[in-house]
């Protein structure tokens, strides 16, 4: 996904602060993916999202982790709606509970998609574009 197009998934968010936060969350996730050699969005699996959420949870607050997961889910929903991906790898992952204090499993077992043929999309790199 080109850096300019990555902001389009936030266009329906009315609050400008939330829009910027979601955009930054996706940029952070994209940088994390790039560090691991995941340059094609089709290569991202639920296990990658779960690993990111778990790692983020060790350094950030629970509400921040939940916001990042919500942004990732929204991005992948946008990609599914645009027929770029067939499924949303973020939907199988759950954030940590902030109310009960007990952690839920970060991700359900992954399902393998054998019929997927999404177009090549590159994730935006942190700092490659200005926010929305």
Q: How many CA atoms lie within 13 A of 123 on its CB side?
A: 27
d(CA 39, CA 43): 8
Q: How far apart are CA 81 and CA 20, in angstroms?
A: 21
- Residue 40 pairs in a beta bridge with 122
Tokens of 10: 């936030």
Q: Is 16 helix (H, G, I), strand (E, B) or coil?
A: helix
Angstrom distance (rounded) from CA 116 to CA 94: 24
The predicted pLDDT at position 27 comes to 94
CATH architecture of 1-109+118-125: Orthogonal Bundle (1.10)
Q: pLDDT digits over 89-119, tens only?
A: 777 665 544 454 544 444 444 444 444 334 3
Model confidence pLDDT, tens digit, residues 21-71: 999 999 999 999 999 999 988 888 999 999 999 999 999 999 999 999 999
Global pTM reads: 0.66
């Amino acid at each position: 996904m080109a850096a300019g197009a990555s902001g389009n998934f936030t266009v329906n968010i009315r609050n400008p602060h939330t829009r910027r936060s979601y955009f930054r969350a996706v940029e952070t996730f994209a940088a994390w993916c790039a560090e691991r050699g995941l340059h094609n969005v089709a290569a991202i699996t639920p296990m990658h999202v779960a690993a990111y959420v778990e790692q983020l949870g060790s350094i950030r607050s629970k509400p921040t982790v939940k916001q990042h997961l919500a942004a990732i889910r929204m991005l992948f929903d946008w990609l599914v709606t645009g027929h770029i991906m067939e499924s949303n790898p973020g939907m199988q992952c759950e954030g940590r509970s902030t109310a009960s204090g007990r952690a839920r499993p970060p991700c359900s077992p992954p399902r393998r998609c054998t019929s997927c043929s999404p177009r090549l999309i590159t994730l935006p790199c942190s700092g490659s574009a200005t926010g929305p």
